[in-house]
Amino acid sequence: MPDTITRDEAFRKLAARCSAKECCVAEVREKLHNWNIPRKEEDSIVEQLLKENYIDEARYCRAYAQDQFRFSGWGRIKIGYTLRQKQIDPLTVSQSMKVIDETEYVETLLRILKSKYRGLKSVDPSLQGEKLMRFAVSRGFEIELIKKCLRELSVECAVGSEI
């Protein structure tokens, strides 16, 4: 186990980390726990980081949503799920989804579906739509939007709302 560090050292390290990269409270608490900081001091450090605006969960959520969408090609459902796993308020999570442009969102889904479809050319045509649907759902896109995009791509999908 790592050595225990002082409260001031922990605060300085976390302030530097939060200045360089957006962090949420859960990540900060995990780091403090790994450093064996007592719970009372942990609360004090988190409070101070929040007060001094090193941590802002709304700002973190917006950055996380935008990054995961742009760089990983994730949909809103998967982004929201991972943010809620980090114990972030559901209202903050839903507000953060507004940073994702709707047009860009649909274009991204179409692009990843087209890319996946090219790799499925050798698959039985009756299964292509189902495979594309599962793929897009696993990326966190909404079922109705996936169906709309599959119709636009003229891919038959026998999969209904049972997913």
pLDDT tens-digit map of 149-162: 999 887 655 444 33
Handedness of CA 34, 37, 40, 44 (dihedral sign): negative
Residue with tokens 């605006």: 53
Poorest-pLDDT segment among 16-25, 45-54, 119-128? 119-128
Enter the pTM of the model.
Answer: 0.86
pLDDT of residue 2: 52
pLDDT of residue 129: 87
Burial class (CB in 10 A: 0-12, 13-18, 19+), 96: buried
Residue percentage of the chain with pLDDT more than 90: 80
Question: Average per-residue pLDDT in the chain?
Answer: 90
Tokens matching residue 76: 């809103």
Angle ∠(139,145,151) on CA atoms, nearest 5: 110
- Whether residue 74 contacts residue 68, with contact meaning beta carbons closer than 8 Å, is answered with yes
